[in-house]
Structures are given as structure tokens and as C-alpha cells.
Chain A
Amino acid sequence: MKQYPYTEKKDTRSGFGAGLAELGKTNPDVVALCADLTGSLKMDAFAKENPDRFFQVGIAEANMIGLAAGMTIGGKIPFTGTFANFSTGRVYDQIRQSVAYSQKNVKICASHAGLTLGEDGATHQILEDIGLMKMLPNMVVINPCDYNQTKAATIAIAKHKGPVYLRFGRPAVPNFTPADQDFKIGEAVMLNEGKDVSIFATGHLVWKAIEAGQALAEMGISAEIINIHTIKPLDAQAVLTSVRKTRCVVTAEEHQKNGGLGDSIAQLLGEHFPAPIEMVAVNDSFGESGTPDELMKKYGLETPNIIAAVQKVMSRR
């Protein structure tokens, strides 16, 4: 099992903030909008350094999405920032009509996704956002795994012409991917080649998949671990190549089973290469208050859950 040493834990939202600040220096067309969560989204640096290109919209997310769509007319590249819940469910029709259907070059940047938002509870812990966004034609959906990858993704999406949903979160997680990585939208990242099972993970679950892979290796199980940072467009070739070799699949994500990464991979496999699949994800339930660690444990999104899913899916092969 390949090793992934890291020196520090950092939050992915700070990766977004750093990427946006860099875009502020390098791309004069980038503008940013925020709905009263500048600090939470780590947009302060961009706002301070580019006051003429930063738009505080107040607690009015629907207006923010419309403004962003309008700002593309005249050549700007708007990045909107608020919590994932208010970035998607609250403004779905605005995104659908004014951004996705209108093919506008808006980057919807969403923090505090999933259970790891913690104590605020289910009202704020959206677990449906990947599904909501991936259903929209023209929309790219990205969920990077650590600080460095979120920073690289933020910079990369400015070069992609079209709507993008970029999902990240609040907790500090191991920052193990290279700082100088070349983030390629739609290209899965092979973390460990293996032969017994394919583990496809996204976002915060990628590190837990690595931990699971290490434990599985000690048990004599060779896990192939692939980071699916782009859920749409899905890297179908990477998925199919891996599953043709391992013939069984575990998916892992901080999201509902319905509409998530596992759902996308099951659809792909059903059409091209049916194989047993186990999904480590939230099973048709809202979250609740608690610490991030407590919640991930209670809702079955921890490293042991991935290990158990691997053992189960291999027995079904």
C-alpha cells in the first residue's frame, strides 16, 4: 500500500480561500460574491485585496445567483460563496434557469457540506447537494479531498468555461496531495493500485479510504483506491478499467446514497460492466447535532465502515 505522509491537517474551505486569493492576483476577470459568510468561506483575502471585484450581497442567495449569472454578461467569471445548503437547495431554480440552462460561466462554491458541519445540525448539513447539482445539464460537479486539492481545483475551474459546482467543507483533514498538483477536471486520481477491490471515494472520505486501504493491506487484501474528485463528468474509463480488474466496488462519500457518487458509479457499471457494489454513504436520513467525528461514526462514514463494506462486497463477488 502506497504511503501518504502529511505534515498538517487543514480545512478544504481554506484551500478555496487561498485559490480564490490567487485568482484575484492572476485573473482580472474573476469576481466574487458572498451571502454574509465571508469569514466562513475564507473569502476575506480576496475581498480585502480586490474590493472592486467583491460583492457582499447579504442574506439573499437567490439574488446572488442571479447577479452572478448577469455578471458573466460583460465577460466576468463570478465565484459565489455560501454554505452548500444555501448554494443548492435554496436556489435550485435560480441555478437551473439562470445558470445551467443559460450556460453561464458561474462557479458555485459551497462550504460546510455534509455531516462534518457538526453542531449546527440537520438544517445546515446538506447531504443532497451532489445529486441536485449533477442532475442539471451543463453542470460540472467537483468535490476535492484536501486543502491542496481544493486550492488547485479553485484555480482550475476559472479556466473551464461553463457552470461548476465546487463542494468543500469545514473540518481540518490531512493535507496529503501535492501542493503543485495539476488539477484536471474529470480525471480521477489513482492513489493505490490493487487487485481485490476498487474503492472510489470523494471529498473527506478519500483520506478514510486510504486508512482503510492500509488496514486491508495488513489483512492481505489489495485495494485499488481512486479519488473521484469530479463526480460529473465521471471518469468512466478509470472506473471501468479498475472494476474490470477487481470485479467488485466500494464507494465512499459524505452524501446521501441517493444521488451521490455511488449512484453515479452504479449507473455506469449497470450499463457497461455489472459488478457487486457497496456504498458507504448516508442512507436516506437527515443528520443531527454533534461533533463531526461523532456524526461520521454514528452515520457509518468512518474507516471501519469502508473496511466492512470491502469484506462484504468481496464475499458477493
Chain B
Amino acid sequence: MPTISELEKTASQVRRDIVRMVHGCQSGHPGGSLGCADFITALYFEVMKHNTNFNMDGTNEDLFFLSNGHISPVWYSVLARSGYFPVAELASFRKLDTRLQGHPTTAEHLPGIRIASGSLGQGLSVALGAAQVKKLNNDPCIVYTLHGDGELQEGQIWEAAMYAAHNKIDNIISTVDLNGQQIDGSTDQVLSLGDIKGKWLSFGWDVLEMDGNNMQNVIETLGIAKTHTGKGKPVLILMKTEMGAGVDFMMGSHKWHGVAPNNEQLAAALAQLEETLTDY
């Protein structure tokens, strides 16, 4: 079981991978990827029971669905660093004939991916279907999801939220990345999410809050969330993060949502991120 310090070191390498991947193809979404690096690292290196010898059905494994598929760099890095596929393959991100498509897909058979995502708002429904089948199959494992806060503007999210509570789907832990940013500006400017906690509570979810860029808090909160499963309610974590977390000039605005760094910016970013495992 890794220590908090070891998880932080892994997350640092994941952040290096993210900026290098996005720089390598001069496209992609570094901001949200960096913000969620601690959470995804914690899931795969500590929290989830999973098997890197990939099987689509994932029976007797915890499952993870990335609904906001545009932050694929963080997921690809964590999957590779966990052992799902060779780390060297990260260099192919977004390039012709790659398995690491701009948004995650099953079409290229990349181990670790169970559904295509990118068109927003669909992942919660998919995860709930998988969670219900786990119950049918008497599989005690948990389904995890991640969503962007801007993604909550999609109506399908609320169809799914209503369905989950009605059906007492209590083997799911969904997390919303509350970085407050989307492409055109802050969520408050574009389309305010209002009382987001109150909304989920009123939809019948058990709601927890977490500092997504504090590894200690991420591990503790996810541990608590697990104890909240199996109690007749779906579990939601509101995860505060900073878009671009770990790279000072990428933080504090929506500017780095979908922009790649140039050579100088890459060097400046990497200087802030310790190489804890070997770069690909």
C-alpha cells in the first residue's frame, strides 16, 4: 500500500506525462487533466480493486468511467503507469493510428477503457447501468465516475441522477470536478450551477466534499465514501480542484482548458514537476 508521499510522487510524474503528451501533439486539454491528477492517481494506485490484465466485463473489479473524456491525458498516463499498456505508448497521444485517441474510446481496444466518452453527460448513465449489472451478478465491487462541473449543464446528468436515487443504486461513487471553469469562462459566467450541493442532495444523493489537490484528503474522503456505499443511496463527491494544478502559470483561469504549451512553456512546466518515475 503506497504512502501519501509515494502517491504524490506518482501524481507528479502523471503531471509530467500530461504536459509532455499535450505538447507532443500540440493539442489536448491540460488544465482539467492536471487538476484531476491526484484523484485519478489515488483511484488506481490505492483506492480501486482492479486488474491490469484487462477484461471488458470487469467482474469482481471496481470500475472507473471518465465521463468528461477530454481530460484523457491524465487517464492515459495513470493507466500506463499502472501497467495497462506500455508507458512508451503515451508518445502516440492524438497521433494517426494511435490507440490513445483525443477522447477515450473502445474502438481502438486500449486496455482500461470500457466506453467512449467525450460528448458530455453520458458517463453517469453508463456507469449506473454497469452498477446495476454488478448487483444482478452479485458482484460486490464499486463503480466510480468522474464528471466535469461544466458537464452538469447537460440534462442527461439529471435524468441519471434521478434514476440512481429512485433505484437505490448504492454501489456507485461519482465525483464532480469543481474547478469552476469551462471553455468560455467560469461556470458562474457561462451558466451558473447554483447551489450544486443542494441540487444533488435534493436528487437523493449522499454528498461528500473533498479537496482534490490534497492527496491526504483525497485518500481519506474516498475511504469515507466507500463506507457510505451499500446504504440505499448513490454517493457523490464534490471535489474542489484548481484547473492546471501543479503548473503555476496554468492555474487560476480557464485559459489552459484546451491549449497546448509551446517549447518554453513545456520547459517551465516540467521545471515545477519532479520526475519521480522515468519519463516515457
Contact = CB atoms under 8 A, between A and B. Distances in A.
Interface of A: 31, 52-53, 55, 57-58, 60, 62-76, 78, 93-94, 96-98, 101-104
A66 B132 contact: no
Contacts of A75: 57, 59, 133, 137
Contacts of A71: 129-130, 132-133
A102 B103 CA distance: 12
Contacts of B114: 73
A69 B129 contact: yes
B125 to A, nearest CB: 2
B129 A62 contact: no
Residue of A57, A67, A70, A104 contacting most chain B CB atoms (<10 Å): A70
A222 B57 CA distance: 53
A52 B65 CA distance: 24
Contacts of B136: 31, 52-53, 74, 76
A16 B49 CA distance: 40
Contact of A102 (B106, B156, B162): B106
B86 interface: no
A91 B106 CA distance: 20
Contacts of B162: 58, 60
Contacts of B160: 63, 66-67
Given A58-B163, A60-B162, A103-B106, A73 B116 contact: no
A75 B55 CA distance: 11
A94 B157 CA distance: 12
Given A62-B121, A71-B133, A73-B114, 8 more contacts: A52-B136, A55-B167, A63-B160, A73-B129, A75-B59, A76-B133, A98-B115, A98-B126
B71 interface: no
B25 interface: no
A73 B63 contact: yes
The 5 closest A-B CB pairs, nearest first, are A66-B125, A70-B129, A74-B133, A63-B159, A67-B129
A71 B155 CA distance: 21
Contact of A97 (B58, B59, B119, B127): B119
Nearest to A70: B129
A94 B117 CA distance: 10
Contacts of A55: 132, 167
A60 B128 CA distance: 14
Contact of B107 (A52, A64, A103): A103
A13 B85 CA distance: 46
Contact of A57 (B115, B117, B139, B163): B163
A65 to B, nearest CB: 7
Nearest to A93: B119
B56 A67 contact: no
A80 to B, nearest CB: 11
Contacts of A96: 119
Given A60-B163, A73-B115, A66 B63 contact: no
A105 to B, nearest CB: 10
A75 B60 CA distance: 13
A74 B105 contact: no
B132 A63 contact: no
A65 B139 CA distance: 23
Contacts of A69: 115, 125-126, 129
A66 B124 contact: yes
Nearest to B154: A62
Given A93-B119, A103-B106, A63 B133 contact: no
A282 B87 CA distance: 55
A163 B255 CA distance: 39
Nearest to B125: A66
B267 to A, nearest CB: 37
B118 interface: yes
A75 B156 CA distance: 24
B115 A102 contact: yes
B122 interface: yes
B134 interface: yes
Contacts of A74: 57-59, 130, 133-134, 136-137, 139
